[in-house]
Amino acid sequence: MGMSNFVSKSQSIRDKLKQEGKYTILNKEEHIKSLVVINKSLEDVRREFQVKDQKSQQNAAFVTLTA
Amino acid sequence: MILKNLTLHNMSIKSIIAQIKDSKDFITELLVSEFNIDKSNSEFLFDRVLQPHFTNLRSDLYLFAETPYIDKVYRDSYYHYYSSKLKRYCRDTIRISFFEKEITLDDFRNENSVQTLEDSYLGFIILRPTEPQLIGRSLLSPRILLNNSFQICQTKYQTTVNSIKLNIEGFPHSSQDTETISCAETTLWAIMEYFSNKYPEYSPVLPSKIIKVLNQVSFERQIPSKGLNIQQMSFALKEFCFGTRIYSKTEYQAWFENLLSCYVESGIPVIVAIENRHAGGNIGHAKLCIGRNDLLNDAIDKLDEIRNLSPELELIIKHKSIRLYDYDDIDKKFIFIDDNQPAYQVAKLKNPAVHYVNADWHNCRITYFIVPLYPKIYLEAFEAKNFFLKFILQGPVPVKASSDVVLRCYLTSSRSFKDDIARNSTIVGDLKELILETSMPKFIWIAELSEKDLLKDKRTKGIVIIDATETNLFSYKPLILAAYDDVIITFDETAGNLVKYTLTLHNFKIFENNLKN
């Protein structure tokens, strides 16, 4: 069986949507602007998480569960 | 009551059948004859220790007791601890199995009756000779309870009753014996018992194994047990092949219960630490949160708008009149496995020890939780939920102005998710194939975008799928596929860019395979 026999329904769907003009590459200026904003914002989330995670771990050493 | 002796080598396995209404007489007789506990003490122990485990059970049950029974957990404690004491401890246990239909001894020897036994089997409880902590390992189907309107993590176990192999679905439970296992060790045992039965990556552990692993990080002897600290519990889970994460109430504040709910919704049993030290008490206790009650429409109606937004996202939803809700904020009760209480206790996260008789426990609060994650789930809930929020509000295609969105986030395996999507007849059009033919890692985070009325009907109008192995959030890297507001957003392999396809989307049934009843 050759490669030509492989079936990809999703590729056919994507090709059909492209042909119908229902396809947009999200690389316009507005998209780049939103990407810059979201990257900065997620970097803040990453730093916030790292602090919360480290402190959670450190303080956990002082809580003994016995009951 | 029917008593029968079956000869096995030089020992004799005795089996007895009784109705649950006779459980006190039935069990006290067993305690007297098998554990040599005197009658008045046996009755006292039944009332104080055993009765609470029978109170919440259905009244139509039949009990089948077998003794002597070799229980793997108690036998391990016996050889590693109890056998070294002066006082002689019995090394055997009693197993009590439950059936919802009347049974006879002949049913176990009749091929035509075995299926009936299987259908009516509801699990077992082990009684061990460690008075007063007599309740040992148990595995009960939620169907055994008077009230079982809840969804939990559960897995199918094979066991035997009177030589017949029977299957049971539930979550493992044991009470602590306070000497070889305290709440912390019991919780670790239950976690491993659950995961090892469900996934081949994990192995079950016995109390001696937990003690051995923790010897590496202990400066004193481990038995008699004095409990464990949270870091030790996390270490043990790491040694048992988990990628453990610890969350502290002090650090996560408003996110704390929200994230705990998210992990439970993901079908992951979570270890919670409860304490009353903030109120001057000295209680520190570990138990498992394994599920939640069935959601009522009223609780969905009362859901308030999301509270955990950053100032910039607050501005966006105000400016665009978006009403955004988080499913994890729904006021609901959770299901706990607590080694001081019968299996499947129901309580709210804000009041996790409300079911304790001793009022000292009532001011306990959850201060930490530990999540036993699969080691390759690198993206945890705090970052995943923030990614979803920012993507739908600030991303390349933000949700439409004036939208109502209830966000339901959870972790699942791509196998379970794709299986559900493939069988889901409510997903019509091209979306199904676009999802199913997309490459995914073993675990994925999902955010369903629903509305309150849709959610009551268990339906969603959109979905965002992200990669749980991708912690680099830069440039939407974790995104696999998003579908909402009649667009599909994904990466185009050939263009190397994020792209948008426009097509009509319909609402479809939500994913409900993480928790079961």
What are the structural domains of chain B? 2-145 (no CATH), 230-373 (3.90.70), 381-509 (no CATH)
Residue partners of B159: CB distance under 8 A and separation at least 6: B124, B139, B165, B166, B167, B168
Task: Give tens-digit pLDDT for B315-368.
Answer: 999 999 999 999 999 999 999 999 999 999 999 999 999 999 999 999 999 999
Spans in chain B with pLDDT lower than 50: 2, 5-9
Between CA B190 and CA A56 the distance in angstroms is 24
Are the Cβ atoms of A41 and B489 closer than 8 angstroms?
no
Residue of B nearest to A33 (CA): B396
Query: B163 in the Ramachandran plot: left (φ > 0), alpha (ψ -120 to 50) or beta?
Result: left
Six token digits for residue B23? 């459980």
Give Cα separations from B1 to B12, B26, B110, B124, B125 (angstroms).
Answer: 18, 8, 20, 19, 19
CB B449 within 8 A of CB B391: no
- What secondary structure letter does DSSP report for B49? I
ipTM above 0.95, yes or no: no
Judged by a CB distance cut-off of 8 A, whether residue B285 touches chain A is yes
Residue B389: which of B491, B454, B310, B318 has the closest Cα?
A: B310
Q: How many helices (H) and strands (E) does chain A have?
A: 2, 2
Strand boundaries in chain A, DSSP class E: 23-25, 64-65
Distance CA B453, CA B15 (A): 53
Q: Are the beta carbons of B229 and A8 separated by less than 8 Å? A: no
What is the 8-class DSSP label of residue B508?
E
> Using a CB-CB distance cutoff of 8 angstroms, which residues of chain A are in contact with residue B179?
none
Q: CA B148 to CA B170: how far, in whole Å? A: 12
Under-50 pLDDT residues of chain A: none
Q: Which residue on chain A is closest to B436 by alpha carbon?
A: A10
Which residues of chain B neighbour A26 with C-beta distances below 8 Å?
396-397, 489, 497-500
Answer positive or negative: Cα dihedral of B251, B252, B256, B259: negative
Q: How near does any CA of chain A get to the CA of B178, in Å?
A: 9
Question: Residue B219 class from Cβ within 10 Å (0-12 exposed, 13-18 middle, 19+ buried)?
Answer: exposed
Residue in the block written with tokens 């042909």:
A19
